[in-house]
Amino acid sequence: MKVVVQRVSEASVTINKKIVASIGNGLLVLLGIVEEDTQEDIDWLCRKLVGLRVFPDENMVMNKSIHDTKGDVIVVSQFTLHASTRKGNRPSYIKAAKPDIAIPLYENFIATLQSNLGRSVQSGEFGADMKVKLLNDGPVTIIIDSKEKV
């Protein structure tokens, strides 16, 4: 399971010209799922996200977490995070989990993140053609892969 985490001043997700998620200060989390992913990956990533210190403290040092700042979160499914570009110019998405595996993991990820955060988490819609708008703050962008945990 892989996430791209972006600290944002604002972000939104639009589907069919309708805004389905919108936040101010917080995190935009792009989530990629592979077939080998389990609840253990979800639990580890959600704990990591809630504790990730990427927000400035009073000395402008990145020392506060999303939990500390009470910021908002949007989670967006993004199978392209597991693209392979080894051969040719057309990415292969063969590593990305099929919907029958990915959808339950995506939904569990959101539920676990909400539980760890102690409040609601907004999301896009799995498999939809989404327009994601964001104002990256910093910019701060971090990639975390649960398969690379020690």
Q: Which of 6, 78, 112, 122 is catalytic?
A: 78
Q: Which of 6, 39, 55, 80 is catalytic?
A: 80
Told to judge if 80 belongs to the known catalytic residues of this protein, a careful annotator would answer: yes
Q: Alpha carbon of 96 to those of 10, 70, 128: distances in Å? A: 28, 32, 16
Told to judge if 14 belongs to the known catalytic residues of this protein, a careful annotator would answer: no
Q: Which of 6, 55, 79, 122 is catalytic?
A: 79
Give backbone dihedrals phi and psi of 125, rounded to 5 degrees, phi first: -125, 125
Contacts for 88-97: CB closer than 8 Å, 24+ residues apart: 95/34, 96/32, 96/33, 96/34, 97/33, 97/34, 97/35, 97/37
What CA–CA distance (Å, rounded) separates 73 from 83?
A: 24
Told to judge if 126 belongs to the known catalytic residues of this protein, a careful annotator would answer: no
What CA–CA distance (Å, rounded) separates 135 from 139?
A: 9
Catalytic residues: 78-80
